[in-house]
A and B are shown apart, each in its own frame.
Chain A
């Protein structure tokens, strides 16, 4: 019960202090919307459903990794993060609470292009439960990537630079722009080491039925990445922040 109170209040505090701030809400709407419009202008005859997996994936990736890396680095530089480390709550509870807010923010970001697409395309065939689960899993792995970045950065600008260092190669390697099968042979193994590749494949399957991997494998791999990243993050926090 005590852990739950702490978890809920860390989440509530982050949502109020960071995610519900007008600049972040507007960023969360404008960013995915701009991507969508950009893609539509580039290929006006293109099927928006074919663009949707990429737009959802990019919206989640950019929303979650940025927010968590920046908010944690910000709290660390002001030393308020020490309060969480000194509280009598398990490190896992604290990590879960911190990423929960980001997952919600990423999910919100993901649904902006979905709502936009619903104006132009028929989405009745979409399995919404599976889509939500996929979005949550992509948000979870991206949030944990953001946390890993936050552990490695000392300053907010460092976190942003590091985040871009990870995000852009991920976008090009995950099969969004070029299918993995058409990537140079040397890069393909790298693609399969990225959680976003499995998330993108799931989204493609759910929205356009153009997946190349089994959905069960993709869900399994996303869960595997989430668990591994979680353990790495926890270990890194213990090593780096509890000196």
Chain B
């Protein structure tokens, strides 16, 4: 559905997008995860025809965006990082206006607008102007506006940034529902949990480059070459780490401050023999848990960027 090859964009001396390539399959939710200024919005702007690339090719459903931007725009819905509907107009008029931009006839656009207002639980807003909506309501209406012409492809730029937990949850549910209906979704976010929860595949973007891309298990596997098990023990024990290591060759054992034992090995660790051994030497085990890296660990390891940087305020200038 989306094919991007060698995309590059420079603003002055800043390379916002640096030779990135990726593909998104039909009906997939593809997430672009990166800190502010990483090049997420610049990439969306180029893909939607709002910005011209310096180099590279973009095809959306077989349409060359550089050559036929208007044809491509007809099949896409766009939710920008700011809710940008018309402040003076109410929800219904805003949706009808957006539908008219796609050439929908009056009766069709009015029916669709009513259905969307209902679906997004905004049907009780009446004649209230957009400027009087709460942040969450504004975001929901902006997403509804992007769906008014039933696009095959939806671009969501930071859809849940700055809104309340309930609205975020509703938006995530809606994204999943759209996927079920066959819509392809390209989503940018700086929330790791959001990418983890809803994306089929994730690309880490940092300093304009894609550092890694894949499904969640693929990304995890790319950094996790070892198996690790943590044994929570009862109180203070003098666990013989060296003895454990000699008993189970190839394994490394470390004793944590809370007296739990972390055992790592390139091979799978046989749980029962270890437990038996510990029992025999008088170590009481309360819990054994396999340690897997979180997406946050993977992100930090692959990009070298601390996860706290993901939520730092945007540095203006590197993107539009």
Contacts and interface: CB of A to CB of B under 8 A. Distances in A.
Nearest to B88: A17
A17 B50 CA distance: 25
Interface in A5-60: 5-6, 8-10, 13, 17
Interface string B66-82: 00001101100010101
Contacts of A243: 11, 45, 50-52, 320
A17 B84 CA distance: 15
**Residue of A1, A6, A78, A86 with highest tally of chain B CB at under 10 A:** A86
Given A86-B50, A86-B78, A242-B49, A80 B86 contact: yes
Interface string B119-163: 000000000000000000000000000000000000000000000
Contacts of B105: 5
A80 B320 CA distance: 15
Contacts of A10: 101
Contacts of B78: 86
Given A13-B97, A79-B84, A86 B103 contact: no
A243 B41 CA distance: 13
Interface string A159-172: 00000000000000
B104 to A, nearest CB: 7
Interface residues of B, number: 30
Q: Pick from A13, A84, A85, A242 the residue with the most CB of B within 10 Å.
A: A13
B255 interface: no
Interface size class of A (residues with CB under 8 A): 20 to 34
Nearest to B9: A243
Nearest to A79: B84
Contacts of B82: 79
A3 interface: yes
A124 interface: no
Interface of A: 1-3, 5-6, 8-10, 13, 17, 78-80, 82-90, 242-243
Interface of B: 11, 45, 48-52, 70-71, 73-74, 78, 80, 82, 84-89, 96-98, 100-105, 320
Query: Which 3 interchain pairs have the tightest Cβ spacing?
Result: A2-B103, A9-B100, A87-B101
8 contacts: A6-B102, A10-B101, A17-B89, A80-B85, A83-B98, A87-B73, A88-B102, A88-B103
Given A2-B103, A83-B98, A90-B70, 19 more contacts: A2-B102, A3-B103, A9-B96, A13-B97, A78-B87, A79-B80, A80-B84, A80-B85, A82-B80, A83-B84, A86-B49, A87-B102, A88-B74, A88-B102, A242-B52, A243-B11, A243-B50, A243-B51, A243-B320
